[in-house]
């Protein structure tokens, strides 16, 4: 893997959506949703956008938080798009996870710890887009 060759140039929390309608203390059944997209802006430059949602499985209107975080990456020119996608996700995930944990702990709820995921092990629906050739 070429993770050490990837450079995270900048990251920021683009948006945080937080709903806390909990009444007193109660049992929560947390569920997590993840999404990630890597867009190649120019040769060797890409922007990753990650979204993590933590919510009560039974009542998302009771507790729900979504963090959208982005990162700008410098990539080696020889790196494949698939490898870049996997490695930039691994780099950006801890930043989004920390933003979600900090937001919940500052808001007076016990900090939600986001479980790590390995996207190579997840069933992710993916469509490979190949632009048509000029003669088609």
Nearest-CA neighbor of 106 among 15, 10, 20, 32? 20
Task: Write the Ramachandran bin of 44: left for phi over 0, alpha for psi from -120 to 50, otherwise beta.
Answer: left
- Lowest mean pLDDT segment, chosen from 1-5, 9-13, 89-93, 114-118: 1-5
Average pLDDT over residues 11-27: 87
- State pLDDT tens for residues 60-82: 999 899 999 999 999 998 999 98
> Would you say domain 3-106 falls under CATH 3.10.420.10?
yes
pLDDT number for residue 127: 45
> Which tens digit of pLDDT belongs to each residue from 98-130?
999 999 988 877 788 898 887 776 554 444 555
Average pLDDT over all residues of the chain: 85
Domain extent listing, the chain: 3-106
**What is the band of 1 on the pLDDT scale with cuts at 50, 70, 90?**
very low
Q: Which residues of 76-102 are buried (b: 16+ CB within 10 A; e: fewer)?
A: eeebeeebbbbbbbbbbbebbbebbbe
Judge whether residue 37 has pLDDT over 50.
yes
Q: Is 84 within 8 Å of 38 (Cβ atoms)?
A: yes
Question: Per-residue pLDDT averaged across 22-37, rounded?
Answer: 84
Q: What is the pLDDT of residue 119?
A: 73
């Amino acid at each position: 893997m070429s993770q050490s060759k990837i450079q995270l140039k900048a990251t920021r929390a683009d948006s945080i959506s937080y709903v806390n309608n909990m009444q007193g203390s109660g049992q929560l059944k947390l569920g997590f949703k993840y999404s990630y997209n890597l867009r190649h802006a120019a040769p060797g430059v890409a922007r990753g956008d990650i979204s993590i949602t933590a919510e009560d499985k039974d009542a998302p209107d009771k507790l729900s938080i979504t963090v959208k975080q982005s990162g700008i990456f410098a990539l080696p020119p020889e790196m494949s798009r698939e490898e870049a996608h996997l490695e930039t996700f691994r780099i950006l995930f801890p930043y989004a996870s920390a933003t979600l944990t900090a937001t919940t702990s500052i808001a007076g709820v016990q900090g939600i710890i986001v479980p790590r995921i390995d996207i190579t092990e997840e069933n992710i629906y993916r469509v490979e887009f190949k632009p048509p050739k000029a003669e088609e």
